[in-house]
Each structure stands twice: as structure tokens, then as C-alpha cells.
């Protein structure tokens, strides 16, 4: 029984034997071969796949190389520890930006109140200039905060 199972290969190895095609193409082409189900996986008979590869004119050397095929272990795209560090840093940065924005908004409100209470000509120009600076700083902080609030998968956009 073990020898019989060894005659069947997975779609990844079949794709290599068929000349480095995609697994989807290997499934389609492999319908001509004998198959066996292993759970949800479809296994293809090695001899049938090699015969199909020969009919398709696949290089014999590539087929021999594919006999020693070892599937690569699948790894995480981003290790969990690095992702947690990234999220913590992002949250810390968001908190800092929020505090800065609150401070700028508070000072802006204070200066607007002073501007409305006393409109002395010598103070009005300086206060208006400072209000304009604070509004520009607040707008810059809003943009930076919005950029920092992007989801982690949008970071590279």
C-alpha cells in the first residue's frame, strides 16, 4: 500500500514535472491522469504525469530534476512578534499625534478667544499671525494623524 501511495504526487510536484507551470494549470492538465483524493487534496499518478509531460515536449532533464522535488515549507509573511511591535509603535505614535493635535487646538481656541475679547491694533496682527500658524500646524498634524491611522496593510500605499 505504501508503494501505491508513493506513486501519487501532489499538484505542486506535478506542476514542476509538467515544466514549471502553475498549480492551476497542473490541475487542468492533470485531469487526463489517474487521480486519488487525500482529504481535499488531489493526488496525481506520477507515471501518467510524466507521460503527459513527454507528450507536451517537456525537457527530460527538468523531469529528472523534478524527481528530487522537495516542497518548500510555507512561512508567515510577517512574523507575529514583528507585527505586534509594529502595531504597538503605531499606536504609540497615534497617541503622541493626538496629544499634539489637542494641544495645538487648545492654544488655537485660547488665542481666538483673546482675539475676540480685545482687538487692540498692535495685538491683533500678531494674534492673527499666530492663529494662522496654529491652523497650519493643526492641518499638518491632522494629515499626519490620518496617515498614521491607515490600516497596517495600507502602510505601503
Using one digit for the tens of pLDDT, what is the confidence trace for 39-78?
888 898 988 888 888 888 777 676 667 667 666 666 667 7
Mean per-residue pLDDT for 97-121? 82
Note whether 103 and 130 are same-domain residues.
yes
In b/e form, how buried is each residue of 87-122, taking b as 16+ CB within 10 angstroms? eeebeeeeeebeeebeebbeebeebeeebeeeeeee
How far does Cα 90 stand from its chain's mean position? Answer: 16
Q: Is residue 24 part of a domain?
A: yes
Note whether 104 and 149 are same-domain residues.
yes
How many folded domains does the chain comprise? Answer: 2
Note whether 26 and 91 are same-domain residues.
no
Q: What is the per-residue pLDDT for 109?
A: 86
Q: Is residue 72 part of a domain?
A: no
Note whether 95 and 62 are same-domain residues.
no
pLDDT for residue 35 is more than 80: yes
pLDDT for residue 134 is more than 60: yes
| Domain final residue, candidates 45, 67, 89 | 67
Note whether 149 and 103 are same-domain residues.
yes
Q: Is residue 10 part of a domain?
A: yes
Q: What is the per-residue pLDDT for 76?
A: 62
Q: What is the per-residue pLDDT for 32?
A: 85
The residue among 93 and 65 whose pLDDT is bigger is: 93
Q: Is residue 75 part of a domain?
A: no
Which residue, 33, 31, 11, is CA-closest to 22?
Answer: 11
Q: Is residue 94 part of a domain?
A: yes
Q: Is residue 89 part of a domain?
A: yes
The residue among 59 and 14 whose pLDDT is bigger is: 14
Lowest mean pLDDT among 4-8, 11-15, 80-84: 4-8
Phi, psi of 136 (to 5 degrees): -65, -40
pLDDT for residue 1 is more than 70: no
Give yes or no for a contact between 7 and 46, defined as CB atoms under 8 angstroms apart: yes
Contacts (Cβ under 8 Å, ≥6 apart) of 93: 148
Q: What is the per-residue pLDDT for 63?
A: 63
Q: Is residue 74 part of a domain?
A: no
CA 110 to CA 105: how far, in whole Å? 9
Note whether 115 and 146 are same-domain residues.
yes
Note whether 9 and 38 are same-domain residues.
yes
Note whether 124 and 92 are same-domain residues.
yes
Note whether 125 and 88 are same-domain residues.
yes
Mean per-residue pLDDT for 141-157? 73
First-last CA distance in the chain? 53
Mean per-residue pLDDT for 106-114? 85
Q: What is the per-residue pLDDT for 119?
A: 64
Mean per-residue pLDDT for 111-139? 79
| Domain final residue, candidates 16, 36, 67 | 67
Give this prediction's pTM.
0.39
Q: Which domain holds residue 150?
A: 80-154
Amino acid at each position: 500500500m505504501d508503494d501505491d501511495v508513493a506513486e501519487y504526487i501532489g499538484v505542486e510536484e506535478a506542476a514542476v514535472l509538467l515544466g514549471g507551470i502553475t498549480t492551476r494549470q497542473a490541475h487542468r492538465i492533470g485531469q487526463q491522469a489517474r487521480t486519488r483524493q487525500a482529504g481535499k487534496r488531489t493526488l496525481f499518478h506520477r507515471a501518467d504525469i510524466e507521460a503527459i509531460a513527454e507528450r507536451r515536449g517537456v525537457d527530460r532533464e527538468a523531469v529528472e530534476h523534478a524527481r528530487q522535488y522537495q516542497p518548500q515549507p510555507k512561512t508567515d509573511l510577517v512574523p507575529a512578534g514583528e507585527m505586534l511591535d509594529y502595531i504597538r509603535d503605531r499606536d504609540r505614535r497615534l497617541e503622541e499625534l493626538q496629544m499634539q493635535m489637542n494641544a495645538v487646538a487648545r492654544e488655537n481656541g485660547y488665542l481666538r478667544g483673546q482675539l475676540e475679547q480685545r482687538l487692540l491694533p498692535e495685538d491683533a496682527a500678531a494674534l492673527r499671525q499666530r492663529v494662522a500658524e496654529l491652523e497650519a500646524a493643526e492641518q499638518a498634524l491632522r494629515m499626519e494623524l490620518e496617515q498614521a491611522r491607515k490600516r497596517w496593510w495600507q502602510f505601503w500605499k
